[in-house]
Amino acid sequence: MNAIDKARGDRSRNLARLRKLTIGTAALGVAATSGFGYLAAMTYTGTTSSPATAYVTAATSSSTTSPSTTLGPAVATAVGRGHVSSGGS
């Protein structure tokens, strides 16, 4: 068994153990409901002399509502050509 095979074997065994300890989805849910609204609402104070800094507030002030009560933006079925593709990059 070479080093790579051993590493794969170790990985599989350890992953199996780790997955038994998978982060509890209940705890995740609590975090999620308070998290993404805050992520969208975060602002910070800084200089506005640079383009990116100037738009930080504008880009992150669109929502302060918790996703626990408000779903993300609506998604509709569309027909026709896309304006852009989303996928891996």
Partner 1 sequence: MLATADWRAIGTGVRLVVNDGDPAGARAAVERVLAEVDLAYSRFRPDSELVALNAARGKQVRISPLLARALAGSLQAARSTAGAVDPTVGRALRIIGYDDDFDRIAGTSRPLDLRLAPVPGWSVITFDASTRTVRVPTDVELDLGSTGKGLASDLCAAAALEAAGPGAGVLVSLGGDVAVAGTPPDGGWRILMAEDSRADPEGPGEVIAIERGALATSSTTVRRWTSDEGVTAHHVVDPRTGLSAETPWRTATVVAETCEAANAASTACIVLGHAAPEWLATAGLPARLVAQDGSVVRLGGWPEPAPDAPVADAAAG
Given the rule CB under 8 A, which residues bind partner 1? 4, 7-8, 10-11, 14-15, 18, 21-25, 27-29, 31-36, 38-40, 42, 44-47, 50-56, 58-60, 62-63, 67-89
How many Cα atoms within 13 Å fall on the side-chain side of residue 82?
6
Residue 50 C-beta: closest distance to partner 1, Å: 6
Tokens of 32: 């999620």
How many Cα atoms within 13 Å fall on the side-chain side of residue 20?
5
Residue 64 C-beta: closest distance to partner 1, Å: 10
